[in-house]
Amino acid sequence: MNSLVSTEWLAGELGAPDLKVIDATIFLSGAGRDARAEYEAEHIPGAVFMDLDELVDTANPAPHMLPPEHKFASRMQSLGLGDGNRFVVYDNSPLHSSARAWWMLRAFGAHYVAILDGGLQKWKAEGRPVESGKVHVRHAHFTAFLDREAVAGKEYVSGIVHSAEHELVDARPASRFAGEDKEPRPGVEPGHIPGSRSLPQTDLFNADNSWKRGDDLRAAFFAAGVDLNKPMVTTCGSGVTAAVPLFGAHLLGKEDVKLYDGSWSEWGADPATPKATGPA
Task: Supply the DSSP symbol for 270.
Answer: -
Rg over CA atoms, the chain? 18
Half-sphere exposure of 184 (CA within 13 A, CB side): 13
Active-site residue (options: 10, 26, 47, 236): 236
The string of DSSP codes covering 123-151 is HHHTT---B-SPPP-----------GGGE
- For CA atoms 162, 179, 211, 16, the dihedral sign is positive
Identify whether 236 is a catalytic site residue.
yes
48: β partners = 22
How far is residue 62's CA from residue 51's CA, in Å, rounded to a whole number? 17
Active-site positions? Answer: 236
